[in-house]
Structure 1
Amino acid sequence: MNLIACDGQLATDSDGYIRCTGTLHVVASDQIAGTAGLTPDDSAQLYDAMLQLFATVFIFLVLKRLIR
């Protein structure tokens, strides 16, 4: 399966069609499948950041409710 990639920006013209302001390139699915995903280290950092964000928002909402 091949996919199409745009090296510019995607924009909508006056007719409502999506246009590529750069050049279109064909990308084979095996090129995408060959790229590396998240490493276990990256996954752990992302998980920690998500937990910190959740805790920060939760604490903010609790304090907001207590102040009112």
Structure 2
Amino acid sequence: MDKLQEVEAKHARLRALLAQRNAAALYLRRSRNIAWVSAGADSSIVLDSDNGVYSLVITPEQR
């Protein structure tokens, strides 16, 4: 599985979670969560912070 396929599979899992929870979107800020959903992207700069320098909003239609 390449990175694009991995991201697509994870987005499908998140779409299912959003539908199950009847939620409109998922907001991710933690570096480890962003790394997971993006197949390894690093959003950290400050070493002592759990939050990255950017956030992700994932909806059923887009990521």
- Pick the TM interval, shorter chain: 0.3 to 0.5
TM-score by length of 1: 0.32
TM-score by length of 2: 0.34
Structure with the higher helix share, 1 or 2: 1
